[in-house]
Chains A and B, each alone.
Chain A
Amino acid sequence: QSVLTQPPSASGTPGQRVTISCSGSSSNIGVNTVNWFQQIPGTAPKALIYSNNQRPSGVPDRFAGSKSGTSASLAISGLQSEDEADYYCAAWDDSLNGRWVFGGGTKLTVL
């Protein structure tokens, strides 16, 4: 049972815009920033978004993060076949002396 809640799956067709949600609480997303990671099966995770909505260099602006209250979202516009991957949200949680918590991951399928 993950501390942050994500839908297990999402899908879209090429060119579409899809959104992945991440629900937390007042001890994590409510007070701390959110990160998003992309993981293509069989490979290491890759940073997509940090500080709620900032992209590391090299990440296309098709990827956008947002946060409101205790929830966050990752939006992917102009969906491409190479976007098919697992996506994870993460945030620091202030409970239990501090810990980094992840969502359970969302498998994105490009139809």
Chain B
Amino acid sequence: EVQLVESGGGLVKPGGSLRLSCAASGFTFRSYDMNWVRQAPGKGLEWVSSIGKTGSYTFYADSVKGRFTISRDNAKNSLYLQMNSLRAEDTAVYYCARGSVGATTVVDYWGQGTLVTVSS
């Protein structure tokens, strides 16, 4: 069974940092691109970042470029999101999602999400 379990969320002050993790199981992690998508309270889904199977390419939404860094450790079946210079508008549930994005986007599994709250 495919499982994606996020962790690392919590309350952080504006300007602070947080590192999210996503533990993958039930599939060959190194064979899939991975993504982070967030959802602010009461709002819709917003793509944050994507990373290729080997980490050789990454994409970022303009809203997080230069502040967030996506990475992965295929030996540990884990995906990460390092979030720096956090702002109030980064408050959201962060989901990791399996699958490739691009011309033929196929994203098929999502984790349960981890809540990040940026507030003083």
Q: Which residues of A contact B97 (CB under 8 A)?
A: 45
CB within 8 A of A99: which of B44, B47, B110? B47
For residue B113, CB closer than 8 A to chain A, the reply is: yes
For residue A72, CB closer than 8 A to chain B, the reply is: no
Q: How far is the CA of A59 from the CA of B104 in the complex (A)?
A: 19
- A98-B59, A99-B59 given as contacts; is B107 within 8 A of A47 (CB)? yes
Chain B CB count within 10 A is highest, among A44, A46, A50, A105, for: A44
Q: How many A-B residue pairs have CB under 8 A?
A: 72
Task: Assess whether B108 is in contact with A88, with CB atoms less than 8 Å apart.
Answer: no
Overall SS of chain B's interface: strand
How many residues on A have C-beta within 8 angstroms of the other chain's C-beta atoms? 30
**Segment with Cβ contacts to B, from A15-23, A28-36, A63-71, A73-81:** A28-36
Q: Which residues of B contact A86 (CB under 8 A)?
A: 44
Mask of A1-38 contacts with B, CB within 8 angstroms, 1/0:
01000000000000000000000000000011101010
Interface size class of B (residues with CB under 8 A): 20 to 34
Among B34-89, those with CB < 8 Å from A are 35, 37, 44-47, 50, 59, 61-62
Q: How far is the CA of A39 from the CA of B113 in the complex (A)?
A: 13
Task: Assess whether A47 is in contact with B95, with CB atoms less than 8 Å apart.
Answer: no
Q: Which residues of B contact A33 (CB under 8 A)?
A: 103-105
- A2-B44, A102-B44, A102-B45 given as contacts; is B104 within 8 A of A32 (CB)? yes
Nearest Cβ distance between residue A9 and chain B, in whole angstroms?
Answer: 13
Closest to A103 in B: B44
CB within 8 A of B104: which of A45, A51, A90? A51
Closest to B93 in A: A44
For residue B27, CB closer than 8 A to chain A, the reply is: no
Task: Assess whether B106 is in contact with A51, with CB atoms less than 8 Å apart.
Answer: yes
- A2-B44, A100-B47 given as contacts; is B103 within 8 A of A44 (CB)? no
